Structure 1
Amino acid sequence: MTVIRCSPEDLGPYEEHRLGTGGQGHVYAVSGAPGGLTGEYVYKAYRRDIDVDAAVLEEMTGFLSGLPAAERSFLDERLAWPAALVEDGGRVTGFLMRRVPGRFLLDPGDPHAPTAAMQFLLNGSAHLRNMAAVGHRGALRFDTGPADRLGLLADVARTIDTLHRNGAVVGDLSPKNLLVALSPDPRVLLIDCDSMRLRGRSAVPPVETGSWAVPCGEDPATEDSDAYKYGLLAVRLFNRDQSSTDPGPLRAVSPELAALAQRALDEGEPHSRPRVREWLGPLEEALDAQAPAPTPTPVPAPTPARRSRRLLAAAMAVVQVVGVVWWLKSEIMPGSSADARTQAPGFTASAPYAGQPTSEGGAPVNASPDAPPSTSPSTPPFDVPVYVDPAVQGVAGSAAVAEMFGAYFGGINTDLELAAAQIDRDGKMFKEKGGKAKWMQEFEDSGTWDSDVRLHALVRHATGDVTASVTFQSEQRSGHGPTSASEQTCTLWKVTYRLSAYGDGTYKIYDAKAPGPPACPAGTPLDSPNSS
């Protein structure tokens, strides 16, 4: 087992290159990797209050080097595994891990794009089209069919099985910890690997993600828990849903896979769940069934039929030495606002925003869009309810941001001082209107009444900036509509707000940008008390 060690001083001016902030600390780009490491690496620096078992983390950094070459190569492509220990004065401060490769970004051609997390495949076609419409160009790639989904499931299963055979369990197996690539072949990348359990010990306290948690009372990091969560993943990937436990859509693809999922999710003895390796054979058979039939060639001489998906996989296995086919937020992870991994990070706003996402869960990877609103408004209740997209509910800071927008839009309707209190006095909102008084007078004159407020995305950018994508409807007096259509009396807005984040976990609006907004559909009732 080889353990590579370095100090923060070996990493160059890393503090100038923060890529993101998560629930456990910060992630920085480093200019050069020490100890003979090759490629691009990032430094995950733990917060001082994080309880890190240095001995376990040290063992983790040497884990891959102690495996047979074939398994090491296989896992190295599919894990954002700790690669080197970072120590300062005898204290472990964090570790180095590989940077997320471009193929695992939402738009592989854009180095500043969000990471392509598995949760994008847990949405329907309309949802993905809406994402593309608001600027996430790569979202439509995830409107994919059964073959790609089966391929991803198979890659996850092979990765987990290889980990299990070598004494490691994932624990927090959820779509936000799984990055995906569909080209040239379906491939996954597991992130937040320092939270995995190795040979019965954890480097950091185990956590779970909201609606992906094991039944109450179970250990969250065992082969049994991985079996349960893998069953959830299989079901939800074919339901294209964030919380379903219905195996029906999976049954339409493969009755055998649906039966495995049912066994995995049935309440009862955890040890009775199918091991992840039991899925591999049925997955290969399902993939074979999805392979297209050979296409006749219009020539006299016979031509060989196209090989099956299984034979192609076998050929790849020979080339890759092993018969298994992985590598390296947010925190958006769909599901629950009670996600223990994404407590308020207290990041600080700066401008302009740009940068590379990282492999740290909860880093700047969140991009979620125009989906049907959550079934309940954010809490506590506001004068204007703010509906939070399910994919945003688990993002660090989402509750505080929703609360701020609730006060802001409620204030626009009934108390402009309250609305003004949600704006950063040093930002651009007041300055662009000539000061707070003129800003308030403009709303007073317009009689604006806002409704149907929805928080679709909350993104933490590499520089530390925070932006929120919000849609809402405004009703105003004629002559006070958008600049491009001042006579509009009802407008549908899609606004990107840049937010200032404060150390106490609160947020204020720094500035806002919106394209030319459309008018409300004909016949929309103007029931605002100020619309006269």
Structure 2
Amino acid sequence: MPARSRPIWIFPAIVAVVLLLAGGTVAFVLRDRWLPGSGGEAGPTTGPTGTANPIVPTATGTAGPTTAAPTTAAPTTAGPTLPASVGAVRLDPSLDPAQAPAVAAVFDKYFAAVNARNASAALAVMDPGGSINQGDASAVKRFTDGISTSTDDDILLVSLGSDPTGKGVLQAHVTFRSQQQAGKGPKGRESETCTRWDVTYSITQPGGEYRIWGSTNAGSRPC
């Protein structure tokens, strides 16, 4: 008797059943092996970018680090700075920067007026009650003649201090060089045309502004 032929559909069905059973077994093993809490070894988890997610510890009640607020240093107020010079008058570095520039400005105006042969402008920065009586025409004429050929330079305000003579509120020590025509030099050296001066002036402050009372001590030598 010829063998009974088997239906063709039996073989695909058998193959499908075998694959289904095998896939379930593999899935069970993989789940048991890799899923956390299943008794197997936990595998890495990845974030959206495919990199391993960091482990985030759970809170245990311990405060995290605190960031201290930045401290701001209190601003410092710088005092006045002593300039090297005021106009043509140089200032010694030891001078008080709160006082010396104002005194130097008076001498700058005085020497600028002398160099311009402007006796009125020179007398304007001098105290009217000082060593030159500005109400006395002969005294003003002597002063005018005395500066008529003078050119003063190399002026240095050396020091300032209290005035022991009582004529002013300050004493100013000033050195400078004068050049003048022969016959207009210092007393006893009238023919001298270049003179180095070392002079102490009394400085008054009428109305709050410094003025030159006049010299209280003057030394000189030829250049």
Q: Sort the TM-score into its range (normalised by shorter chain).
A: 0.5 to 0.7
CA positional deviation for 1:441? 2.5
CA positional deviation for 1:419? 1.1
Contact 2:176 2:198 in 1 (8 A): yes
Match of 2:123 in 1: 420
Distance in 1, Cα, partners of 2:204 & 2:96:
20
Determine if the alignment matches structure 1 residue 469 to structure 2 residue 173. yes
Match of 1:490 in 2: 194
Match of 2:212 in 1: 509
Which of 134, 141, 157 is residue 437 of structure 1 equivalent to?
141
Deviations 1:47-95 (A, max 9, x none): xxxxxxxxxxxxxxxxxxxxxxxxxxxxxxxxxxxxxxxxxxxxxxxxx
Match of 2:182 in 1: 478
Match of 2:80 in 1: 338
Letter of the structure 1 residue corresponding to residue 179 of structure 2 = E
CA positional deviation for 1:515? 4.1
Which has the greater radius of gyration?
A: 2
Determine if the alignment matches structure 1 residue 399 to structure 2 residue 101. yes
Distance in 1, Cα, partners of 2:215 & 2:89:
18
CA positional deviation for 1:219? 5.8
Distance in 2, Cα, partners of 1:480 & 1:390:
33
Match of 1:47 in 2: none
Distance of aligned partners of 1:516 and 1:455 in 2 relative to their CA distance in 1, 3 Å threshold? closer
Determine if the alignment matches structure 1 residue 519 to structure 2 residue 222. yes
Distance in 1, Cα, partners of 2:215 & 2:137:
12
Contact 2:200 2:218 in 1 (8 A): no
Distance in 2, Cα, partners of 1:513 & 1:497:
6
Match of 2:110 in 1: 408
Structure 2: runs of 5+ lacking an equivalent: 1-72
Structure 1: runs of 5+ lacking an equivalent: 1-216, 221-335, 340-373, 521-532
Distance in 1, Cα, partners of 2:79 & 2:104:
12
After superposition, residues 266-281 of structure 1 pair within 5 angstroms as: none
Whose strand fraction is larger, Structure 1's or Structure 2's? 2
Contact 1:468 1:496 in 2 (8 A): yes
Distance in 2, Cα, partners of 1:442 & 1:337:
41
Partner SS state of residue 405, structure 1: helix
CA positional deviation for 1:450? 0.2
Whose helix fraction is larger, Structure 1's or Structure 2's? 1
Determine if the alignment matches structure 1 residue 500 to structure 2 residue 208. no
Same amino acid, percent of matched pairs = 28
Deviations 1:386-440 (A, max 9, x none): 001111142x432211111000000000132211211111111347994223311
Distance of aligned partners of 1:516 and 1:433 in 2 relative to their CA distance in 1, 3 Å threshold? farther
Distance of aligned partners of 1:438 and 1:461 in 2 relative to their CA distance in 1, 3 Å threshold? closer
CA positional deviation for 1:375? 7.6
After superposition, residues 63-74 of structure 1 pair within 5 angstroms as: none
CA RMSD of aligned residues (A): 3.0
Distance in 1, Cα, partners of 2:144 & 2:130:
16
Match of 1:460 in 2: 162
Match of 1:287 in 2: none
Partner SS state of residue 85, structure 2: coil
Contact 1:500 1:507 in 2 (8 A): yes
Contact 1:480 1:488 in 2 (8 A): yes
CA positional deviation for 1:485? 1.3
Which of 353, 357, 376 is residue 84 of structure 2 equivalent to?
376
Distance of aligned partners of 1:457 and 1:422 in 2 relative to their CA distance in 1, 3 Å threshold? same
Match of 1:97 in 2: none
Letter of the structure 2 residue corresponding to residue 413 of structure 1 = N
Contact 1:433 1:439 in 2 (8 A): no
Contact 1:455 1:470 in 2 (8 A): yes
After superposition, residues 165-314 of structure 1 pair within 5 angstroms as: 218=74
Distance in 1, Cα, partners of 2:204 & 2:170:
7
CA positional deviation for 1:454? 0.5
CA positional deviation for 1:376? 3.2
Distance in 2, Cα, partners of 1:439 & 1:413:
13
Distance in 2, Cα, partners of 1:429 & 1:491:
22
Deviations 1:351-407 (A, max 9, x none): xxxxxxxxxxxxxxxxxxxxxxx88322xxx3xx1001111142x432211111000
Letter of the structure 1 residue corresponding to residue 80 of structure 2 = A
Deviations 1:309-354 (A, max 9, x none): xxxxxxxxxxxxxxxxxxxxxxxxxxx9717xxxxxxxxxxxxxxx
Match of 1:387 in 2: 90
Distance of aligned partners of 1:417 and 1:452 in 2 relative to their CA distance in 1, 3 Å threshold? same
Please give the TM-score of this superposition, normalised by the length of structure 1. 0.26
Distance in 2, Cα, partners of 1:478 & 1:337:
47
Q: Determine which structure has greater relative contact order: mean sequence separation of CA pairs < 8 Å that are 6+ residues apart, divided by chain length.
A: 1
Distance in 2, Cα, partners of 1:434 & 1:478:
23
Contact 1:430 1:439 in 2 (8 A): no
